[in-house]
């Protein structure tokens, strides 16, 4: 049995299989998921698990080269905006929400959280540790 890191087998497998520049999406409960992109649904009830919990855990287990978020988060959800900026130390690119949804079509997976606050979504672009 795995001792550290993410225990969810689907997420752990996705992380191990990532190549440089691959995308994974961590989204709120309402983010539309493109039909061809696999979804790992962690939502148990409204608010559980939170966007921040899932982002922290995935980030701890993943080399993130860049993060992409919707521009709208800055005004519509300042708490999540501040979290994203702190978590990724300002290495965040902002696009419109419509552009964000288009980029999700290139993702290896969308991880759905139970978050129910607007624009609580991000795309993590895989980096390399060497």
**Which residues are annotated as part of the binding site for substrate?**
28, 97, 119-121
Active site residue 20: yes
Output the CA–CA distances (angstroms, integers) from residue 118 to 15, 38, 55, in the order listed: 26, 22, 16
3-state helix, strand, coil in the chain (%, to 5): 35, 25, 45
- Among the listed residues 4, 20, 59, 81, the single catalytic one is 20
Taking the alpha carbons at both ends of the chain, their separation in whole angstroms is 27
Active-site residues: which are they?
A: 20
């Amino acid at each position: 049995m795995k001792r550290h890191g993410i225990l969810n087998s689907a997420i752990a497998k996705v992380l191990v299989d990532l190549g440089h520049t691959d995308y994974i999406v961590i989204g709120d409960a309402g983010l539309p998921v493109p039909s061809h992109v696999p979804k790992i649904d962690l939502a148990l009830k409204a608010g559980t698990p939170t966007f921040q919990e899932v982002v922290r855990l995935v980030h701890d287990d993943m080399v993130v080269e860049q993060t992409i978020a919707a521009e709208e988060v800055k005004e519509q959800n300042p708490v999540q905006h501040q979290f994203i900026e702190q978590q990724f130390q300002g290495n965040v690119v902002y696009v419109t929400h419509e552009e964000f949804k288009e980029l999700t079509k290139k993702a290896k997976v969308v991880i759905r959280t139970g978050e129910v606050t607007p624009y609580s979504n991000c795309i993590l672009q895989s980096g390399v540790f060497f």
